[in-house]
Amino acid sequence: MNLAEVDASAWAELEGAAADPQSAFRYLNLCSVDAYGRPQARMVVLRRVDAARRVLEIHTDVRSPKWQEISANPLVTLLGYGPQPKVQLRLQGLAELHGPASECATEARSLLPQSTRNTYVGGPPGDEIGELPASEGGIADADGRAFLGVLIFRAETLDWFQLRHADNRRAVFAYDHLGALTSSRWVNP
Ligand SMILES: Cc1cc2nc3c(=O)[nH]c(=O)nc-3n(C[C@H](O)[C@H](O)[C@H](O)COP(=O)(O)O)c2cc1C
């Protein structure tokens, strides 16, 4: 594979993963930096990919710590690993947050199955279970509408790494704001 093919294959893999629960890249590690400068990492589901624009969509509860962290600092990393053929994708970029009232979140919510919507109905993520009765926690919306937020991630760089027996390979790609590839190079693994 040449550089253009590596870039295209990585994005095709991500695009496929958004539609395929069995794909290794369906679950990515979303990393942000908290108010104390500490790295924070957690798994998230890849909901949608626009490969041409280099955009990935993730859903979360707006009451979660990550929402606060990313509101204060939109620089995030998404990390994924596919065991066949042992490829790591490390994407750095900027996250845009779209709150529950946004068009983005309304549309995302309308496309979710009821079982997934229900994951936004409980108490605030990270609070002790049963700490607050639902009514006191401000939880009024049985559809989870009040808490579903959409994170739109725009990749600025992709660091692609393939583990091989004798000759690991690594390539780094950069994209502009519209998603066009602006540079690509092989680097030492
Ligand atoms: C496989 C898997 C998928 C997950 N997907 C999501 C997700 O799409 N959105 C989300 O907010 N949390 C998801 N979680 C939970 C997060 O990893 C995390 O525990 C939770 O969101 C709280 O994160 P925070 O305290 O950093 O905000 C997932 C967890 C697992 C194990």
- 81 in contact with ligand 1, CB cutoff 6 A: no
The H-assigned helical ranges of the chain are 3-19, 65-72, 103-111, 114-117
- 185 in contact with ligand 1, CB cutoff 6 A: no
- The pLDDT assigned to 146 comes to 87
pLDDT by position in tens, the chain (length 189): 999 999 999 999 999 999 999 999 999 999 999 999 999 999 999 999 999 999 999 999 999 999 999 999 999 999 999 999 999 999 999 999 999 999 999 999 998 888 888 888 888 999 988 765 555 455 556 666 789 999 999 999 999 999 999 999 999 999 999 999 999 999 999
- The pLDDT assigned to 9 comes to 97
Distance between CA atoms of 59 and 180, rounded to whole angstroms? 25
Is residue 169 a contact partner of residue 163, using CB atoms and an 8 Å limit? no
- The pLDDT assigned to 144 comes to 62
Is residue 154 a contact partner of residue 70, using CB atoms and an 8 Å limit? no
- The pLDDT assigned to 20 comes to 96
Q: Where are the beta strands (DSSP E) in 48-180?
A: 48-50, 55-61, 75-82, 87-98, 148-162, 169-175
- 59 in contact with ligand 1, CB cutoff 6 A: yes
Domains for the chain: give ranges and CATH numbers: 3-130+138-187 (2.30.110.10)
The residue whose C-alpha atom lies closest to atom 31 belonging to ligand 1 is: 43
Distance between CA atoms of 46 and 57, rounded to whole angstroms? 6
- 124 in contact with ligand 1, CB cutoff 6 A: no
Is residue 57 a contact partner of residue 150, using CB atoms and an 8 Å limit? yes
The residue whose C-alpha atom lies closest to atom 30 belonging to ligand 1 is: 43
Atom of ligand 1 nearest to the CA of 43: 17
Residue 51, C-beta contacts closer than 8 angstroms, at least 6 positions apart: 11, 12, 14, 15
The residue assigned the tokens 């579903």 is 148
